[in-house]
Structure 1
C-alpha cells in the first residue's frame, strides 16, 4: 500500500456528502465502464455458472445478487443461462437507466464465447438478453428480505468488502432468504486491492499489517476501499457456521503469489494473525464457493 494511495483514501473517507457527490458526478459525466474489470466479471460469472451446473443446480429459478454495482454483466449472463427472474441489490445506488444498455453493449460481441461456454445458440442468448428486466432494491436490508423467496443467491467481488464480523451474519441472512434446498454461490477476490494499480507490490502485501496497526486502521476508514482480509478457509468456516452445506469450493493459488507469501514468512513480515496459517490458504487469490441450504 503506497502512502499516496492511503492519503487519497483518507481524503475520500473524510469528504462530507460523498454519496451525493458521486451521484452528481454520474449525472454530469456518464459512467465509463472499465473494460478490464468487465472482462474479469464475464469470466467469473461463467465460472460461477459452470460451478453451479457441476453441482447439479438448475438455473431456471429466481436469483438474488448481493452487491450488483454499476453494470449487471453477471446477472445478465445468469439470465441468459436460464434464470427466470433476477433481483439486484445494493447498499448505495449505483444502478441506473444506463446500466442494462452498458452491460448489453459489452456482452453483444462476446455472445459467441458465451454461447460456447453455456452450450447454447447465439440467437437464444440474444433473445434472453432482450428480455432481461431485473428488480432492483436499494438500500437492501438483508434481514428484512422475504424468507424463502429465491432459489439462488450469488455475489461477485463483494464478500471481501463485508466487515469480518458481519460475514457469518450475511450468510445467515441468505440462508433465511433462499428456499430450502436452494443454493448460494460466491466468487471472492482475496487479494490486496491496494496493489491492483501499478503492480509493484505483492497481491498479498496487506497480510503484513497487524489488524491493530495505525496503518491498517487508517486504510480501513474508507468503506469504499475496505477489505476484510478473510482467507479461503475463513469463508468456508463462516458458511458452515451459518448453517450452509458446502457443495463445492475452489481456491486459486498462483505459484508466484505462493512464493511471495513464503518469502514474507521467512523474513518475519507476516502480521501475527497470519503468521501461523497454511501458506496455500494465505496465498489463495480467489475463492469460489457453492453451498446448499438444508431441506
Structure 2
C-alpha cells in the first residue's frame, strides 16, 4: 500500500467513533497483525536481545522488579519475564490494547520456547516449566495478566508511565520495546524524569527504539529515512493517532535519558552505509540539516542507562 494512502486511511479512522475497532480489524486482516505468529516471534526475539544486553552490563531478570512502558496487544515481554522468575512486572499503556486471543497465542508460542527462555537467563528449566504449567492452566479460566501470572504481572491501561503512582525507588529495571518513537518529545522528557525517581539507585533503564519511518513497512517504494524530507508542518498532516512518529533521532533519545540523570552504559547506534547512501540521495528538510549525516541516518538504537543515585 502506498504510504500516503495508509496515512490518509489511518487519519480518517482516527476521527471516527468506531475508528479504533475498525483499525484493529484492518491490522488483523491486511496490516502488520495479519501474521500474529510472526509478530509474537519477533517480540520473543526482542526479549532475548534485551536480556542478553542487560546481562552484558551485569543485570539479571530473575528476582527483579520491572516496569514496561507500552504494553501493546499482547504481553510477550512481561510473560517471558514472569516465566524466568521476575519478582514483579508492571506494564503500562496509554490505551487498553491487550487482546485475549493474541495473549493466548503468545502463551502457546512461549510454551514452545521454554528451554530458550531458561538458557537465556541461566535459570533452572524445571522452574520455568512449572511456572508455565500454572500460567497455561490459569489462562483457561481468566484473561487477566495478573491472575494468570501468580500476581506477578500488573497490567495498567489506560495509564501514564510518567505518573504511574508507583513508589520512588521501587523498580530495578524500566524497559520499552519499539515505543519511544511513538511518544511526543515532551512526554519522553517527563517519562525519563519520572523513571529516574522510580528506579532505585543503581537500577537501570533499557530502551529499544525503531526511529525509522514506519510507513516504509507498508510501502516498499520508500525507505526508513523518507520522512526526513518533510518539515514539521508538512509531517503533521501525515502523522495520526494510530501511527504517530516523533522523528527524533537516536542520539536525541539517548541524550534525553542522559539529561534526566542516567549514566549511559550502552548505546548501539551506528551509521549503516546503506542509510548514508539513501540520505545523500535525498532532499532533507531544513530543520534536520544541522545534524551530522552519520547521526541523522541512524534508524535503530538500543540503550541502557544506570541511575547513579543521589
TM band (smaller chain): 0.7 to 0.9
Q: How does 1:17-166 map to 2 (within 5 A)?
A: 17-19=18-20, 34-59=36-61, 60-120=63-123, 122-129=125-132, 130=134, 132-133=149-150, 134-141=153-160, 142-146=162-166, 147-166=168-187
Q: Return the match for 1:271 from 275, 279, 285.
A: 285
CA shift for structure 1 position 99: 5.0
Task: Tell me whether 1:206 sits opposite 2:230 in the alignment.
Answer: no
| Equivalences, count | 284
Alpha-carbon distance in structure 2 between the residues aligned to 1:8 and 1:252: 34
1:4 is matched with which residue? Answer: 5
- Alignment RMSD (CA, Å): 2.5
TM-score relative to the length of structure 1: 0.86
Q: 3-state DSSP class of the match of 1:287?
A: strand
Unaligned segments of structure 2, at least 5 residues: 28-32, 136-148
Unaligned segments of structure 1, at least 5 residues: none
Q: What are the superposed Cα offsets for residues 59-101 of structure 1, whole Å, 9 maximum, x if unpaired?
A: 2221111111111111222233432111111111122544542
Given that 2:66 and 2:174 are in contact with CA atoms closer than 8 Å, whether structure 1 keeps it comes out as: yes
Q: What are the superposed Cα offsets for residues 225-275 of structure 1, whole Å, 9 maximum, x if unpaired?
A: 1111111100111111112111211125443223212322xxxx1111222
Alpha-carbon distance in structure 1 between the residues aligned to 2:110 and 2:170: 29
CA shift for structure 1 position 184: 1.0
Given that 2:3 and 2:218 are in contact with CA atoms closer than 8 Å, whether structure 1 keeps it comes out as: no
Given that 1:46 and 1:77 are in contact with CA atoms closer than 8 Å, whether structure 2 keeps it comes out as: no
Alpha-carbon distance in structure 2 between the residues aligned to 1:96 and 1:149: 28
Q: Return the match for 1:229 from 218, 232, 247.
A: 247
Q: What are the superposed Cα offsets for residues 116-144 of structure 1, whole Å, 9 maximum, x if unpaired?
A: 43344544432333453411111113324
Given that 2:74 and 2:99 are in contact with CA atoms closer than 8 Å, whether structure 1 keeps it comes out as: no
2:143 is matched with which residue? Answer: none
